[in-house]
Chains A and B, each alone.
Chain A
Amino acid sequence: DVKVTQSSRYLVKRTGEKVFLECVQDMDHENMFWYRQDPGLGLRLIYFSYDVKMKEKGDIPEGYSVSREKKERFSLILESASTNQTSMYLCASTQSSYEQYFGPGTRLTVT
């Protein structure tokens, strides 16, 4: 059974903190993605990666960075968290099979 896991379901951080969101997939997929989900806005792509150490900006990369040191792990980094980054963050992976597999999401609150 395919699986994408995210390090936390809920996270509360203070403004200015550095935040790491971790995502791990066990399907040996090459492509991994980070989205944020906001009410009334749907899902928006932040960054994606098609190989180890490779990254591409999505639609809303400002304020975020990513790291992919191993094929199975894709990290999203908020260098200095701000209140407008309070959101649900979803990780996904695919092997170009037309289906992206999503993790359960991390609900991040920045106070």
Chain B
Amino acid sequence: GNSVTQMEGPVTLSEEAFLTINCTYTATGYPSLFWYVQYPGEGLQLLLKATKADDKGSNKGFEATYRKETTSFHLEKGSVQVSDSAVYFCALSVAGGGADGLTFGKGTHLIIQP
């Protein structure tokens, strides 16, 4: 079956630190990969995506590269801000566009301290 493994949290960093949240996956076929973010009290929103190997998704200073050889999609940001504090979910879909539903990791709670 399909599965996503991401690093457990909480992850606590100081403002302006470098961020990496690891994500690896197991999937049949060729999945599309996503990072979603959930701010306190809100639903999930798409942060970035990549639909094929070697694609790099980027948004709001965050980046992730689809690495087929290591089955990974690690999230990075060069300088985090307090406003980045949230829960981050790595996810995959093996049907085009996520029409069959997404398989999520367990989420990583990120806390940025001023």
List the interface of chain A (C-beta within 8 A of B).
4, 30-31, 33, 35, 40-45, 48, 50, 56, 58, 90, 92, 94-100, 102-105
Q: Known contacts A90-B44, A98-B32, A105-B43; decide if A43 and B98 are in contact (CB<8 Å).
A: no
Q: Is the CB of A94 within 8 A of B43?
A: no
State the CA gap A96–B97 with chains docked (Å). Answer: 4
List the interface of chain B (C-beta within 8 A of A).
32, 34, 36, 41-46, 49, 51, 89, 93, 96-107
**Chain A residue contacts of B105, Cβ below 8 A:** 42
State the CA gap A98–B100 with chains docked (Å). Answer: 11
**Chain B residue contacts of A48, Cβ below 8 A:** 100-101
Q: Known contacts A4-B43, A99-B49; decide if A42 and B106 are in contact (CB<8 Å).
A: yes
Q: Is the CB of A43 within 8 A of B46?
A: no
Partner of B43, one of A45, A98, A103: A103
Q: Is the CB of A33 within 8 A of B101?
A: yes
Instruction: Point out which of B32, B93, B101 has the most chain A C-beta atoms below 10 A from its C-beta.
Output: B101
State the CA gap A84–B68 with chains docked (Å). Answer: 38
Q: Is the CB of A100 within 8 A of B46?
A: yes
